[in-house]
Structure 1
Amino acid sequence: MTSAPPATVGPRGYVVADLGGTTLRLGRTTDGALDTASVRRIPTEGIGCHRALPPQALQDRIVDQLVGELEQYLRSPHGAGADAVGVSFAGPLTKNGTVLAGPTLWGGAAAPLPIRDILTRRLPVPVVVANDITAAAWRYAATESDPFCLITVSSGIGHKVFRHGEVLVDDAGHGGEIGHWRVDPREDAVPCECGGRGHLGGIASGRGVLLAARRAADDDPRGFASSALAVPAAHHPSGITNQALAQAVRAGDPFATGVLSTCLLPLAQAVNCVFTAIGIRRYLFIGGFATAVGPDFIRLLGDQLTRLGCFGIDEPQIRDMLALGAADDDHCLIGMARMIAHTLPATAGTGGDR
C-alpha cells in the first residue's frame, strides 16, 4: 500500500495592523511578503490628535477606530480571503493579549484592555496580538543570526531582546519598556506621557527631542536665530518640527546636532546597561525619528556610547554594535506576518478556524 501524498498548503494571506502613537497602519501579506500597494495609513485617534481628552475616553476612541478599520479592511479587495489578522500594539501586553498601558496612545492610567478578546469577538478570522516591538523583532529574526536588541525611537522608545528564537518578555507583560526607565531622578524632570518623570522616552524619543529643541531655542535665542531651524520655524521655537530637526541634523547644523547629541546620552546609557547586564552585541534602531535622522543618529549615539565606554570592548567594537534597521515603517507589519505564521497552526482553515 502506498501512502497518500502530503496535503499542500496554499499561500497564507494575513491582514496585519500596527497601532502606533501617531499612525495606524494596515496591510496585506502573502507568505510573509508585504503588498506595499495594500498599505493604508491613518492618523491614530489618540493623544497626538486629542490631547485634551481623558485617557479612558481616548482608549475607547482608539478601540472603536481599530475595530472599525479592520472590519472595513477585511471587506475590501485587499482583505478578502485573509486567513488571520495580526495587530501590533504600542504598549505592554500580557500573554493573554491584554494591553496594560498605552502612554503614547492615551497617556495616563486607563482600564486594562483585553484587545485580543475584543478583536476575536468582532472579527471573522483568527487573531494574534503582540507588542509592536515584539512584532518588529520577528522581521529581523529572519536575518540576524546572533541575539539582538531592537530599539524603536519614534513617538516614544521601546525595545525587545530576541534570543534563541524568542523575544525575552515576561508573561505578565513586563520587559521591553526601556523607554520608561527613569534616567533623571529629579522631581522636576521632564514629564513622560505615562505620567511619570525623567523617563528615557520623555527625553530621547522624537517627541522628547522636539521639546528639548524648543526649550533650547527659548534659552538660546541667538543660537536658534543662526540655526537652520529658524527659517522653517518662522523664527518661533514653537514652530520647530521633527522633520525640520532631522533635516537640520543631516545638514550638520550645530544647534540641532547639539540638542540631539545631549538627548542621546541617556539612550547610550541604556544601551550600555543592556550590554553590561546580558552581553548583547547587536543593537538595531528603527522608528520614525531615528530613520528620519538616518546615519547621523547612529554616529551621534556612537559618540556618546564611546565616551561612556563599554566594559571589555574597544571603540571600533562599540560602534560596530549599532546599526539602523530598514528605512521604512513596515517593521511591525512584516514582523507580525512572520509571528502569525510561527504562532498559528499551518493547517488553520481559511477564514476563521479559531
Structure 2
Amino acid sequence: MFAGVDIGGTTTQVLLCTADLAVIDSTEVSTPAREGGQAMVRAALDALSVLRARVPSRLLGIGIGAAGVVDSRAGRILVASDSFRSWAGFEVTATVEKALGVPAFLDNDVNAFLRGEAAKGAVVDEPYVLGMTLGTGVGGALRLNGELLDGPHGAAGEVGHIPGFGDLPCTCGGRGHLETLASGRSIRARYGERTGRLLTARGVAEAAADGDPDALAVYEAAGAGVARAILITAGLLDITTVVVGGGVSRAWDLIQPPMLAELTAGPPVSGHPIRVVRARLGSGAVAIGAASRARTELDAVTRV
C-alpha cells in the first residue's frame, strides 16, 4: 500500500491507499504550523502510525503534498508563506525516509492536487490542464502532454501570483496578483472594505446567495479574475482544460457565471473553447495525488 499526506496551513490529511489509489483509511489532524517543520512532519507521521496500526499491510512508499514552493527533486521546501515557521528550507523527504524506512516524495500541494484529479478525479486522461486551487491563497499547477511541469525553480503554473489584477498588496510581498481577488482571505478583505463587516469567505458567499450586492460584486470580481488568468495561461501554453478546487470553489454557483462570461467575451487566441470543471476529489485530492506520485516513481524504478 501507499500513503499520501497533505500538509496544509490549518490541517494535515493522511491516507492509506491501494496500488490503484483506492482509499483504505484516512484521518485529519491539526497542523502545528507555528511550531516549525519538525513538529509538522511529526504530526503527520503520528497520524500515519495510527492508520498503519489499523491497516497492517506493507507500506511501499509515501507522497507528501506541502504548501509553498518546493524542490521536488531534493525533497525540501524552498519558499513558505508567513503562516508557517521554520518551514522554508526544511528537508521533508529525508526526515520522513529516516523515520519510516521507505521512499518518500515531495510535491507542492497544488501539483499534488492536479496529480490526484488527473489520476482519479475530474481530468483523467486530459493531457493539457491547468489546475487551480482557490483557498486561503490561490495556487496553480500545469499538466502538459500528460506530464506535470514544475519548472527549474518549482514555480511553474503559479497563476495566483500573476500580476496585472489591480494594485492591492499580496501575501507574497508583490502587488496586484490574482490572489488579491480570488482567495478566501481576499474575498473576506474585499467585502470588509466595501461594507465594514468582517465575514468569512463562506459568510460572504451566504450573503451573496441572499442577494447582497456587495457580496455579489466581490465574487464577480473573483470569477472574472480567475478567467483572465486562465486566458493568459491558454495564450502561453494552449491548455484545453482547467480544473478548479479549494474551499472557495464550494461557492461554484457564484464563481462560475462571471468566469464563463469572461471566457466567452474574450476567447483564447486558439479559437477553441476551454473546458472548466470543478474538482471531483474534494479535500482528499492532494493526499491522493501525493500517493499517486509515490506509486508512479516506484513503478518507474521497478521497470528499470
Q: TM-score range by the shorter chain?
A: 0.7 to 0.9
Provide the TM-score with structure 2 as the length reference.
0.86
In 1, distance between residues paired with 2:38 and 2:230? 33
Q: CA deviation at 1:252?
A: 4.8
Superposition deviation, residue 265 in structure 1 = 3.0
Superposed CA RMSD: 2.5
Q: Which runs of 5+ in 1 are unaligned?
A: 1-12, 47-57, 219-236, 349-354
> Does the 8 Å CA contact 1:92/1:177 hold for their aligned counterparts?
no
Q: Post-superposition shift, 1:123? A: 2.7
Partner Cα distance (1:184, 1:334) in 2:
32
For 1:79 and 1:85, how far apart are their aligned partners in 2? 15
Question: Are 1:321 and 2:278 matched, yes or no?
Answer: no
SS at match of 2:70: coil
Please list the CA deviations of residues 236-277 of structure 1 after superposition, one character each: whole Å capped at 9, or x if unmatched: x12x11222223344554331111112333322211111111
Does 1:19 pair with 2:31?
no
User: Displacement, 1:278?
Assistant: 1.4
User: Per-residue deviation at 1:283?
Assistant: 0.8
Q: Which amino acid aligns with 1:64?
A: A
Q: Does 1:67 align with 2:42?
A: yes
Letter of the 2:158 counterpart: E
* TM-score, normalisation: structure 1: 0.75
Q: Highest CA radius of gyration, 1 or 2?
A: 1
Q: Quick one: distance in 1 between partners of 2:26 and 2:50?
A: 15
CA deviation profile, 1:161-205 (whole Å, cap 9, x unmatched): 1122311121431312221222246xxx33322233322223211
C-alpha distance 83-44 of structure 1, shift in aligned 2 (>3 A): same
Give me the identity figure in percent. 23
CA contact (8 A) 2:117 2:281 kept: no
Aligned to 1:302: 260
Q: Which of 201, 212, 217 is residue 258 of structure 1 equivalent to?
A: 217
Cα distance between partner residues in 1 of 2:286 and 2:180: 22
Quick check: 1:34 aligned with 2:9? no
Task: Quote the Cα distance in structure 2 between the aligned partners of 1:308 and 1:78.
Answer: 53
Which residue of structure 1 lines up, in the alignment, with residue 234 of structure 2? 275
Cα distance, 1:321–1:345 mapped onto 2, change above 3 Å = closer
| Post-superposition CA distance 1:26-52 (Å, at most 9, x none) | 1111221113xx322233333xxxxxx
1:82 aligns with 2:82: no
Taking structure 1 as reference, are residues 281 and 176 closer, same or farther at Cα in structure 2, changes over 3 Å only?
same
The letter for the 2-side match of 1:136 is F
| Contact preservation (8 Å) 1:249, 1:293 | no
- Does 1:335 find its partner at 2:289? yes
Structure 2: 5+ residue stretches without partners: none
- Deviation of residue 88 (structure 1)? 0.3
Which structure has the higher relative contact order (CA within 8 Å, separation 6+)?
Answer: 2
**Are 1:74 and 1:82, in contact at CA under 8 Å, matched by a contact in 2?**
no
Contact kept? 1:159, 1:176, Cα under 8 Å: yes
